[in-house]
Structure 1
């Protein structure tokens, strides 16, 4: 497979895809847009109702330097927003397409759209969107699916604003877990930062004291919950506490 002919085919397919996407959702009729790396949602609004989509960030283009950066190469892009873009890199490695595997390099904006078209092809996107951030940097997104407002609300409710880590997923810890003292770390299931969770699951952890009482009481009940006094923290704070308690001394 030759890169330039493949990229041209992807551009032609994206034009058709984008025409259908704009016809189906009429994005120009909405006054406001907002994309959130934490939730992975792109939201359009005027009044009610909102229009929500799941998306991933393909990369960014700077007119100041005529430079493209893939999101998987950008340390400032959250893992949630760029995880799908890593599939583009894997695809490029399999096909020998170096433009899909180099993290940052000089291009023109048309090539940026080629990358978006390729990403939409590989990931089966339903459309693309290009917001501009406060620094004039153009961010290229591939939209993967429409999300009904109730589902979008449930997704957004699973996030909390943290003074140290901005918006992250909600996590629950007992009152004894902290950032300075090792008190043990028990979880409802084995966790990794950034992992996908089902709608029913949350990050939950408690200390050794809470675990002793939980075992003594044969599970969670009024007494164990009263002793634990679970509190809400963000996902990043949760894993900072986990690292303190389970990391090497």
Structure 2
């Protein structure tokens, strides 16, 4: 049963969202694009028509299943990547402070109308500029758009990600060509790393084996000779940490 104050708050947020969405669509005309694509790894939502495109950062508030008639918050969904759900935890924290159970229960029976209310609350609490719900038959995904990203910046973000046969689309990492998934041959990093860490714009995950480190020290750093010996290759972030686990057993 809804808390009376929650019911009033949810309706207020939904009314606010209607005005917010009108302004958002008027400003960016997202309905004028033919295609859409979102990526949980880099947190970008892209609308495009041929070579013309527009990009936004987004959060994934949650999903509504038409089959089970349930809402599931993104922070309670292990299949949703951290980049697009970490800030949604602020909604849960607000729910605890206000004693609004709908904001603290990870999954519960619901309907599509309420899913829009929950998305509206998320938009208000995370200062969203609009919302988007991609077309889908069974599982509806509700996104809160955070900010516009110019195409140059968006491309720079996308360039930091690679397709991986094992882990789909993840951040890129650079390792020497000697590292593999069988042998413990050392793991020398350019800086200490951990999974899902935030990187500075100019940083990448970088690692090389013990033999590469010997050559690097002999050459007094990275130069043509040490780089040629390392023969750097690009892998995804998850592959990087799988190799790190093999060599260091850090998990």
TM-score w.r.t. length of structure 1? 0.94
Structure 2: runs of 5 or more not aligned: none
Please say if residues 244 and 250 of structure 2, whose CA atoms lie closer than 8 Å, have aligned partners that are also in contact.
Answer: no
Q: CA deviation at 1:47?
A: 2.5
Aligned to 2:82: 79
Aligned to 1:65: 68
Aligned to 1:18: 21
Q: Quick one: which of 222, 225, 229 aligns to 1:223?
A: 225
**Is residue 102 from structure 1 mapped to residue 105 from structure 2 by the alignment?**
yes
Aligned to 2:33: 30
Aligned to 1:236: 238
Q: CA deviation at 1:93?
A: 2.2
CA distance in 2, matches of 1:87, 1:176: 43
SS in 2 for 1:84: helix
Please say if residues 190 and 206 of structure 2, whose CA atoms lie closer than 8 Å, have aligned partners that are also in contact.
Answer: yes
Structure 1: runs of 5 or more not aligned: none
CA distance in 1, matches of 2:194, 2:13: 35
CA distance in 1, matches of 2:80, 2:68: 19
TM-score w.r.t. length of structure 2? 0.94
Q: CA deviation at 1:77?
A: 1.2
SS in 1 for 2:134: coil
Aligned to 1:214: 216
CA deviation digits over 1:141-171, x for unaligned, max 9?
0000011111111111111110000111110
Q: Quick one: which of 167, 182, 185 aligns to 1:183?
A: 185
Summarize the alignment of residues 135-154 of structure 1 with structure 2, pairs less than 5 Å apart: 136-154=138-156
CA distance in 2, matches of 1:248, 1:205: 15
Q: CA deviation at 1:248?
A: 5.9
